[in-house]
Structure 1
Amino acid sequence: MNDLLYLFKRNIQSERLFQPGNVLLLAVSGGIDSVVLCELCHLAGYRFIIAHCNFQLREEESERDQRFVKALADNYRAEIFLKRFDTEAYALQKKASIQVAARELRYQWFYDLAAQLEAQKSIPIHILTAHHADDNIETVLMNFFKGTGVAGMKGMLPKTGKIVRPLLFARKRVLIDFAKERELLFVEDSSNASDKYSRNYLRHRVIPFIEEIYPGVEGNITANIERFREIELLYMQSIAVHKKKLMEQRGNEVYIAVRKLLKTVPLKTVVFEITKAYGFTAKQAEEVIALLQSETGKFILSSTHRILRNRGWLIISPFPQSEMQVMVIHENEREVIFEGGKLDIKTNEMNNKDIELPVSPAIACLDLKLIKFPLILRKWQKGDYFYPLGMQKKKKIARFFIDKKMSLFQKENTRVIEMNKKIIWIVNNRIDDRFKITTKTQFVLEIHFVGKAN
């Protein structure tokens, strides 16, 4: 018992997790791990508050856990906060798994509660969880199988912002022995016995199987976690050097010289580390590399950004912040449905050289030869401009709206179609003069806007 308490206090000091005078907010489920955490904090003389989440997923068992934690807090004469969550409803609303929903709910509440307590007590509050070394082994294996790269190999850190994990140095069996020696009471979560959850499957089946082949594998993984923490530091230092050489910030865009990037080694790793901050995946790193050999105008998209090849540059640009999802229109698409209606798209051959321009602003007729797919459909944003049909000078879209005396509602719901950072059509308004059909036009791209029925 004294050994674990000594190692617990030494770990807190060596990792600089918190100061003795700080207040600790302990996340307590009532299971053996969190009960041991409470006992260690009590024996070490730390000031702590208990927080318990009732996810209402196990009926009477959830109520039993809440009663137990309340009694535990009374035993330590500790302040306690209890929170009930409708976890199933939240998971349905967010289209997330129960595990993801529970994690989001509890951590958001912990952060909110810590901020509230800090404001009241005017003293730093740290959120402590009872994650231990076995949890970290499982996390590293899950990260490895999911392909999270070097960052995932270091597992959970002893401290991440306000979250502190002071038991990561200790194996589960050490906590069990401590609980037995101190005759600590705790509750069992019946869901921990189920293998339907990936973490439990690893715990009950995969790790014991590997242990049969490689005895001592858990200890080796624990040692490797320490090594990977240091490896990642070196790795990120090297990535920072590459970023500084390659990335040039211009306003809200990032420019990367194609020639410099082509000479970079290792190319794929550096590309991934640069682009992941903008929502791009490891798989898309290959697509970014392909852009280095493509012609001007090609681009790829994440949920928040676009990477465009423009002459000798790759340009990373954010999409405008709006409720409307940015949509990509590919060459073979004939119908695009979006929040404000739909677009019907077709191509026609220009047999009649006597050009008849469409009367309706809901129809755009464009010279197909001048159009390069894919196109982007999005809401207009401040700073957008185009060359209105019949004019040789560019005009800001905001000015165009003023001249047309458009209402605020009309402005807010207007979309544009963009190609290679050029607006080719203000949907249901006017096309850009540079892409109009002429006597030389052979094929026409015709786009019909159909608004939603009221």
Structure 2
Amino acid sequence: MLKVFKKYIEDSFPELLDSHFIIACSGGLDSTVLVELCYQAQLQFSLAHCNFRLRGEASDGDEAFVRDYAKRLKKQIFVTHFDTLGYVNQHKVSVQMAARELRYAWFELLLSQNNKSFLLTAHHANDVLETFLINLSRGTGIDGLTGIPAKINYLRRPLLPFSREELEHFAQVEEMEWREDASNADTKYLRNKIRHEIIPALNELHPTFSENFKNTLSYLNQTQTIASAHLHKLKEEIFIKSKGRVEIEIAKLKELNPLSIYLHGLFSTYGFKEMNNIETLLDGLSGKQLVSNTHVLTKNRDVLLLTSLDETALKNQEFFITEEEVPLNLPISLEFTVVPERFDNSEKVIFVQKNILKYPLTVRKWKNGDYFYPIGLNGKKKLAKFFKDKKIDVLSKEETWLLCSGEQIVWVIGMRADNRFRVVDTAQEILKIEFT
């Protein structure tokens, strides 16, 4: 097995050959075998162990075992302790989900703090089958049926080609020790029920089930590769990048058949999971939005606008400018200069009567009810009506910033200045404000 493992590392994970990585080690069979294989392959690594404090003395025993193992191998070890049940109560998630979220958050922090690029986990072929059946039972697309990725972000999983039986055989031949987690036998957990009851039954029904599954998984991955290439080409054609966002023509989306499958392929990577909602959005009113954990999808006349949620997070923020200093954290670049004379205002430059301003000035996004007195027009005008008259689309409105003096708008930045702050007394200081 060692020879096959080393060849697999050379072919599929060459980045591990010349780097120092971290191995997540629980003390169980799988992770202990992974550590031993990496040690015998003379790779450079440290260990990381999470004590979830869920099994009392047994959890502490696991920690002691891994610490002793690291000491025998003369490897650095990182250990952390979690209040897992406290996290469950606070976030209202299952124990298994809590443990997953806690450990992966710690893994990312650990890599960052120690300037490491990769962390290895001991997922193997049986885990792939169990995950396939779990996703199948819940309902899923091809993404949920193609197994656990060998590489994703900082994670590397070099045991995926090996079955648990192969790991057990290696451990027995090497006369290794490991820790058994009693909860792994408890069939109240779905994964354990699949492991101990469903998979043995499938093997009994068809003796070559495991080998057949490997072939099926290979075919699914090949199909996914073809589908991904097609979707990538389609995105290049209809996802048009413009001004930091993506515009998608609704008419072109409606030409796709079957529509729901295409919508899933095109938008699921942005966090959108309910395709019925996207189909409804296609025929919805302009301005309607769908929000995922990472992105916002907005209907704007005959297109959908896709933007990162990070951009919309600025919507409710305000930035303050004192008379002495313009802060460096402004979301847009403004320059303030006292000048001896004024010229005509433009979209990028305005001239205002400085003594009328009330400091600190505020830079913020517009909100319903805002109004101003646009230069060149008589009287006041609501911003919503101003935007509508100028045919400003939904997202451009959201991206517009205002410069305010107290509650009064001085400038709809990049568009129109307010008449109340125009220069009327040239004997007073004139302030030039430039949007660069």
TM-score, normalised relative to structure 2: 0.70
Cα shift at 1:189: 0.4
Cα shift at 1:131: 1.2
Alignment of 1:385-424 (within 5 A): 388=371, 393-395=381-383, 402=405, 404=407
Say yes or no: does 1:128 pair with 2:111: no
Name which of structure 1's ranges 156-165 and 187-196 shifts more when overlaid on structure 2. 156-165
Name which of structure 1's ranges 71-80 and 300-309 shifts more when overlaid on structure 2. 300-309
1:73–1:261 Cα change, 3 Å: same
2:231 maps to: 239
1:45–1:313 Cα change, 3 Å: closer
1:17–1:55 Cα change, 3 Å: farther
Cα shift at 1:61: 0.3
Q: CA RMSD in A?
A: 2.9
Cα shift at 1:307: 4.1
Residues 283-321 of structure 1, C-alpha deviations (whole Å, 9 max, x = no match)? x313323444x3644845234555444443334456632
Residues 363-421 of structure 1, C-alpha deviations (whole Å, 9 max, x = no match)? xxxxxxxxxxxxxxxxx962557674996634389769646369xxxxxxxxxxxxxxx
1:154–1:95 Cα change, 3 Å: same
Find the residue that maps to 1:276 and give its secondary structure: helix
1:302 maps to: 291
What residue ranges of structure 1 are gaps of 5+ in the alignment? 119-123, 325-379, 407-454
Residue number among 91, 107, 111 corresponding to 1:110 in the alignment: 107
Which amino acid in the other structure matches residue 191 of structure 2?
Answer: R
Cα shift at 1:198: 1.4
Give, in whole Å, the separation in 2 of the partners of 1:310 and 1:113. 43
Residue number among 155, 159, 172 corresponding to 2:164 in the alignment: 172
Residues 91-134 of structure 1, C-alpha deviations (whole Å, 9 max, x = no match)? 2222221111111221222222223222xxxxx55311111110
Give, in whole Å, the separation in 2 of the partners of 1:223 and 1:173. 19
Give, in whole Å, the separation in 2 of the partners of 1:31 and 1:68. 10
Say yes or no: does 1:92 pair with 2:75: no
Paired residues, what number? 340
Give, in whole Å, the separation in 2 of the partners of 1:308 and 1:264. 20
Give, in whole Å, the separation in 2 of the partners of 1:150 and 1:251. 33
Find the residue that maps to 1:273 and give its secondary structure: helix
Give, in whole Å, the separation in 2 of the partners of 1:12 and 1:237. 27
Alignment of 1:215-364 (within 5 A): 215-281=207-273, 284-292=274-282, 294=283, 296-297=285-286, 299=288, 301-303=290-292, 307-316=297-306, 320-321=312-313
Cα shift at 1:218: 2.1
Give, in whole Å, the separation in 2 of the partners of 1:317 and 1:165. 33
1:318–1:65 Cα change, 3 Å: closer
Find the residue that maps to 2:365 and give its secondary structure: coil
8 Å contact 1:258–1:313 — kept in the other structure? Answer: yes
1:404–1:241 Cα change, 3 Å: same
1:99–1:238 Cα change, 3 Å: same
8 Å contact 2:26–2:50 — kept in the other structure? Answer: yes
1:40 maps to: 37
Say yes or no: does 1:382 pair with 2:365: yes
Find the residue that maps to 1:18 and give its secondary structure: helix
Alignment of 1:59-98 (within 5 A): 59-98=56-95
Give, in whole Å, the separation in 1 of the partners of 2:9 and 2:403. 63
Find the residue that maps to 2:47 and give its secondary structure: strand
Which amino acid in the other structure matches residue 5 of structure 1?
Answer: L
Cα shift at 1:169: 0.7
Give, in whole Å, the separation in 1 of the partners of 2:59 and 2:315. 38
Give, in whole Å, the separation in 2 of the partners of 1:125 and 1:405. 50
Q: Percent identity?
A: 33
Cα shift at 1:157: 1.8
1:303–1:114 Cα change, 3 Å: closer
Residue number among 205, 222, 225 corresponding to 1:213 in the alignment: 205
Say yes or no: does 1:193 pair with 2:189: no
Cα shift at 1:64: 0.8
1:404–1:207 Cα change, 3 Å: same
2:430 maps to: none
Cα shift at 1:137: 1.0
